[in-house]
Structure 1
Amino acid sequence: VKLRISDNFIEDVTDVLKRFFRELEDPIFTLELHPQWKEAAEISSKPQRLERYKELIHRLPRLNHKTLAALIGHLYRVQKCADLNQMSTKNLSLLFAPSLFQTDGKGEHEVKVMEDLIDNYVSIFNIDEDQVSQMDLENSLITTWKDTQLSQAGDLIIEVYLEQKLPDCCVTLKVSPTMTAEELTNQVLEMRNVAASLDIWLTFEVLENGELERPLHPKEKVLEQALQWCKLPEPSAAYLLVRKVPIGEGSCLFTGAKRETPKCGLLKCREEPPKLLGNKFQERYFVIRDRRLLLLKEKRSAKPEREWPLDAAKLYMGIRKKLKPPAQWGFTLILDKQQLFLVCSGQ
């Protein structure tokens, strides 16, 4: 079911959901276990109380278990945006407990159970880190880009620039969760009536208003990448740019040999957060081998001081100007919790 804010009020959806649970033949928490839920809510020790909740959840019928997990997961995300929607854990618990327990508005124990389940959703329902990260990312999109347009189908409507970031070079299009960079590139060229040719056109992700950029792999999901901008200090400084690249450069960007020749040389480097390399640019010897970046103490060292997997990294051409790199040629390597800034002596 697809709903439009212009046609449906949030309160309407909430009322339908509450009515559905209220009219079930047996409550989602079940009548049989109701006394035990109340007893669990009275346990003073929080760890023991949460452990008892987990035991009771596993005793629910499978459909009840799955439905409750989905609902509490949704309410967990709603309360994460309480600054915007005024829906704190307490408010949500007061709103839904009577319908889920079918208590007709009575019962402080039931409200307590709901509060505990929502606040401790991750641990009680054994949600893994990847799922939590995805939920936090999507919530960041809501809170950071709360004024962003959405299409009727729920796709994100974003601006993409053709060759330059100028108002006349901007096109607006819907980006679905499945749209790839190749599909976006072709759609932008078609919208701007750019004839097919031997030129290679790619979509670039641009950060820091042009200081960093990287070509998106043709099969990379565009929306998935755009959601990551919510983690940036200035999400509005990121955008997508479609432009052509020299044939020689474009043809080898995403190709790789089965046996790569190791690449090595001196680079000036600093890292964030500062660890071994500190927060100043230092000249060090690096080797790229077996899809890993290795830092050697000296050229003949057999064992690297540090190493970083390149498969899990994003490589951007350019370095932020505020870091004052010692030369204009360089690139930024972004890993999960670390960034490396590598400066070359020449282009």
Structure 2
Amino acid sequence: MNSKRMNLIVAAIMTLSVPSVWAEEATKPTMTETEMGAMQGMDHSNMNSDANAMDSMSEMGSSKMNNDARPAEDHSGHDMSGSSEQASQGMKDMRQDDGMESGSMSMSMQGGEAPADARSPDYSDGYDFGSIPRPEFADEHNFASLMVDRFENVKTDKNNSVTYDMQAWFGRDYNRAVLKSEGDYDGGKLQEASTELLWSHAIASYWDVQVGVRYDSSEEVPDRTWLAFGVQGLAPYWFELDATGYVGEEGRVGLAFEGEYELLLTQKLILQPRFEMDLYSRRDAARGLGSGLSEASAGLRLRYEFKRELAPYIGVEWENKFGETKDFARDEGEDTSETRFVAGLRFWF
């Protein structure tokens, strides 16, 4: 009788212990690869002995217990090392796959060869216009323009004269032929003129590089021919700049710089400051030019644009000669500095 009670007590204890073991296994955190690797070197002899002890206890009570009691399963025959190896290998494969995906993603972000089914660079996919003529885009057409920036009457204390300053071009957006010309009429004659024929190439959105020749002519002094090279464009804050270097006969080198700015008082009333200066490396006594800074002028012109293409203006300008050029002018009885009042017309088409 006593042995029967003992068997019932043992069976009840075993039955109650099974759910707690399952709960404990469910709450265990997932093993890392290192822990799984460590399990491969563990001594499983104790686990087998514990399992044998459990089996002996179940055998003790199985002869006298009812069929309701279930014996504990024997895990001593399971190959746990194989399972851990498979799990470890699976984790390594997952990491390798992730590395390959991240590597391919970084390579795709860095560029590379286009896929075989990519569209053609011109988006035509091999189709042409057939019998229809191909359309021409804006940068494939030649255009022309003429800008007369100054066509004005100049009044000084001793004289009245007419001055012109113009620029024309023909070509496309990137390459153009440019003609620049300026001069002075006095007494019905062209006293002096400077003409430049240049090839202009766009190097930026607002800048052109220019190369060509310049020819200076005059009624009273010898003519001069120069090789010209420079840049012209729109600087930040909307300053219009034109800087050109010249290489002439007998090793003479010159530099001309012009700068303009347009201050919009209204949409039609515009004030234009303007600055200009000339420098030479060597003196040219025949033309009354000295080395270094030869002359400089600065002025203000106020214009009213009836249309963008047509605007009359009035203004004032100050001119000074420097260095040897000043000495040459004084020897000829000319003024070395003067104030000019101007009135003229600015137009373009």
TM-score of the superposed pair, with normalisation by structure 1: 0.17
Greater strand fraction, Structure 1 or Structure 2: 2
For the pair shown, which has the larger CA radius of gyration, 1 or 2?
A: 2
TM-score of the superposed pair, with normalisation by structure 2: 0.17
Greater helix fraction, Structure 1 or Structure 2: 1
Q: Which has the higher contact order (CA 8 A, sep 6+)?
A: 1
